[in-house]
Structure 1
Amino acid sequence: MSRQYIDCREFPSTMHCSVAISADTPKELLEAAVQHATTVHGHQDSPELRQQLTQMFKPGTPPVTLPSTKAA
C-alpha cells in the first residue's frame, strides 16, 4: 500500500491550522485525522465526519509548502 495524507492547510479556517498527517494505511490515517479533528477543531466523531475525512485523503506525502492560491 502507498502512503496517504490529509493536510489542514488546504482548508482555510480561523485558526490557520498547519497540520498535515500521513500514514501507510487508510485506517491509521483516518484514526489520526479523527483525533485531530475532534481535539483541535472541535468536531464530533461521527460516521459523516469519517466519510468526509476519508474523501480528503491524497496519495503520497504532504508537500513542505502549499502552492499559492492567490491570484497575482
Structure 2
Amino acid sequence: MGRKYVDCREYPSDIGCTVALSADSEDELLEAAVQHAVAVHQHQDTPELRTQLKTMFKDGAPPA
C-alpha cells in the first residue's frame, strides 16, 4: 500500500483550515484525521465520522 492523505483545504470550513495529514497506512491516517476532526472542528468521534473520513482519503501526498 502506498502513502495516503487527507487535506482540509479541499473542504470548506468556518475556520479556513489548511491542515493536510498523510500516513503510510489507512489505519494510522484515520486515527490522525479523527483526532484532528474532534480537536479542531469539534466533531464527535462516531462510526459515521470515521466512514466519512475514509471516503476523503487520496493516494499519494498532498500538494504543496
Which TM-score band (shorter chain)? over 0.9
Structure 1 distance, partners of 2:51, 2:41, is: 17
Amino acid at match of 1:15: I
Work out which of the two has the higher radius of gyration on C-alpha atoms and give 1 or 2. Answer: 1
Structure 2 distance, partners of 1:63, 1:34, is: 21
Aligned residue in 2 for 1:38: 38
1:51 and 2:55 aligned = no
Give the superposition deviation at 1:10: 0.2
The alignment's TM-score, normalised by the length of structure 2, stands at 0.99
How many aligned residue pairs are there? 64
The correspondence of residues 1-72 of structure 1 with structure 2, limited to 5 A, is 1-64=1-64
Unmatched 5+ residue regions in structure 2?
A: none
**Aligned structure 1 segments of 4 or more residues deviating by more than 6 angstroms:** none
Q: Flag the structure with higher helix content.
A: 2
